[in-house]
Structures are given as structure tokens and as C-alpha cells.
Structure 1
Amino acid sequence: MFGCVLPGKPVLTNLQQVDETHAVFYLGHPAEINHICVFLLGTVPFPDGYAATVHMHWPGRGFQLLGMLSNEKPSAIFRVRGSFSGAGQAAFSAAASSDPSDFNAMLGLAIEPLAAVQEQCAAGTGASSSALTKQLDPTALAERIVKHLFNYLSSFATSGSAVTPETYVPMGAITKWYESFLAKIKAGGTGFLEREEN
């Protein structure tokens, strides 16, 4: 029912069914994973009113919610690099460098009622909420949001005349930024704001 691709690797076929509603992919060399693509194979759709949450399990960190798949959204690409805290990353990297084959990450899929899946994703639990929302105070988060807006709008700025050296931005650009920003928040929480700082 599910497929998984890591960039530069062949399609993973090692899906292990845990029970009727849970399955996992075992992922070797987790320190090398930056992005992961998960998709429905198209052979068996979800039953009406059901979808799947997608979770990543890092050694020593447990499962973290990445997002969801549904019949309306049959595939998704998740950035997983940087979705765990710095302290965990240091320990994880040290352990992985000793013998990467001994430390597998897992990609977990849980089939649940659509309403429950949407609620979990909206709550932004696990990796979706990111260490950013746990570590940043509201002022720092607001600062990153404003910086994101400024960087986006800078590409639309036009200069005034020689008489008025002011810069102008079309109102439509602000609307586009707002819609795009909300879509990113809904899809994966605020983690993208932290990644843009790197």
C-alpha cells in the first residue's frame, strides 16, 4: 500500500506490517537522511474516512510526527534533517559514526480516522512542532516570522521616483506570502523558520 524513497536510493520495499493499522520501514544509515518521500502505491486506497499519520523514529528520540497521507494527498516529501534537537543530534551522530549499520531509523505509518489524523497534524505534535516552538519565546518566533516576510517581499519591491526614494511592494504580494506561509505552517509546523536560519 505504501512506498518510500530516500534521494539517491532505490524505492524501499522493506515495509514491515506491525498490526492491521501500523507499518514501518527500516532505514539504514540515518545520519545520511535529509529528505524522505512517502506515497501510496495507488493499488489500495484508504477506506472512506481514513488516512495515515507519518512518523520518523530516530534512535534515542522516539517517534516524531512528520505529517500525513490521505486519498486526497497520496504523497508527501518531508525534510527530516534538523527535525530533532541539537543535543540528540550530537549523540546520534557520535553513535552513527561508530557503526552506522547498528543504528536504524524507522519510518512509521499509522492508519487512523481522518479526523484524528487532521487533529494530530493541526496540533503539530512531534517533529512538526519542531524544537523551534519549544525553545523560542514568542518574541523570537515573531522576529523570525517578520524576517521571513521581509525576505519574501524584498523580491517584489520597486523603487519610487528620484523625487521620492521610497520602496513599494504590491499588496497582492503580501496576500501571496500569507497564503504560502499558512500552507507551510499547516503542512509542517514552524520548523521551516528554523531551517532558513541555517
Structure 2
Amino acid sequence: MSQLFGLVPAGQPVIFEPTTIHSENSFIYKIPPSATPNSKPFSHIVVFFLPGVALPPGAAAAIHLLTPPTNPQSDAFDITFLGALGDGKASAIFKLCCDTSSGVAIGISIEPEATVAAKMQELAARGPSKALPSTLQLAQRIISHAYNFLSGYSGTTGGPNGVEVVPIKAFEQWWKKFESKVRTDPTFLERDV
């Protein structure tokens, strides 16, 4: 039986069928980019057991985010453990801290509860290091983004000892590009640049 789970990427229809079944305990669900024009990429996904589904005793479902490899020499997905479903937890919402505009994949593997519990402890242990940036860090990233863009438009007025200026039109161009980037990838400022 391949229909064990349902997935709902925010703003998209529910997905019931895995794209790839590696074994009776391992499934991959490819989530295409939204087919709706002008729609935003999703940043959250709900994963749940379908009605009537029960895992074998002592088992849990490990949920992983599969993204294209960061190493260009590799063709294997980068795998990030998101969390788990199991006895007493039939659904969960996961925040995806990656660009989903070109689609992503979710891997679900049915594993021994002890293995999944160890992954959950590891995830909890590294949680604070994955905290969102502070307001100061966000402000610094926005200013850095603006400075890098606008520095290419600077010029001087008043001769050799003149004042450095940036045309207001350049600022307007930066603002439009910045807004577009925020719409396309709302989490880009959360990542270190």
C-alpha cells in the first residue's frame, strides 16, 4: 500500500501519491512549483497520516527535506531531517527554510522509534543555532543589500572634493528588486549572506 501519507504545501492541493517508492518503508514526494501564475513559493508543509493508517508497533515516520546538492560534484540530494510522525502524533506542520520556487521533495521513511527519537533529540539540540536572525541582523542585511546595489550608482558632485551622491532613481530600482526578491524568496534574509 503506497498511500500512507498526505502532504499539503501551503497554498497548494493535497498530495497523496508518492513520486518514488524506494521500498515499502521509504517514499519520496516531489512537490512541483506552484502552477498558479504570480503565486508565492510556499514555506510551510503539512504532513499527515491518511485515515485508517497505523504504523507497525515500535515504528515512526521520519520526515526529510530533499534539496539539490550544494556540492556540484555530487548528484545526491542534500537531506535535512524535519521531524516525525508516530504514535500520538498523526500530523505536523514543518517550516521549510529553503527556496521552494523551483520545487522540492519530501522523503518519508518508516524507521524504528528509537532511531527517530535519536534524530529528534539531535534536531532539538541544534535548534537554537538555527534560530531566526535578530531584528538588528535583519536590518544589517537589508542595509548591506541596499549598499551593495547602490554603490554601483554613486558619483560625486562639485569637483574633486565634492560630495558622493546616489540618484533617487537608483534607490527606487533597488527597492523594486528588493521587494521582488522578498516575494520570490521570503526567507532569503534569514540566511547568512
Q: TM-score, normalised by structure 1?
A: 0.52
Total equivalences in the alignment? 120
Preserved contact between residue 14 and residue 26 of structure 1 (Cα < 8 Å): no
- Between the aligned partners of 2:67 and 2:42, the Cα distance in structure 1 is 11
1:191 corresponding residue in structure 2:
none
2:65 corresponding residue in structure 1:
56
- Between the aligned partners of 2:65 and 2:53, the Cα distance in structure 1 is 23
1:23 corresponding residue in structure 2:
27
Counting helix residues as a fraction of each chain, which structure ranks higher? Answer: 1
1:5 corresponding residue in structure 2:
8
- Between the aligned partners of 1:44 and 1:73, the Cα distance in structure 2 is 12
Shift of 1:43: 2.0
Gaps of 5+ in 1: 142-193
2:93 corresponding residue in structure 1:
77
Aligned residues: percent identity? 29
Please tell me the residue identity of whatever aligns with 2:5.
Answer: F
- Between the aligned partners of 1:7 and 1:105, the Cα distance in structure 2 is 13
RMSD over aligned CA atoms reads 3.2
1:148 corresponding residue in structure 2:
none
Q: TM-score, normalised by structure 2?
A: 0.53
Report matched runs for 1:11-160 at 5 Å.
Answer: 11-15=14-18, 16-29=20-33, 32-61=41-70, 62-80=78-96, 82=97, 84=98, 100=102, 104-124=103-123, 129=126, 133=129
What SS is found at the alignment partner of 2:15? coil
What SS is found at the alignment partner of 1:32? coil
In the TM superposition, structure 1's runs of 4+ consecutive aligned residues that sit over 3 Å from their partners are: none
Please tell me the residue identity of whatever aligns with 2:104.
Answer: A
Gaps of 5+ in 2: 35-39, 71-77, 135-188
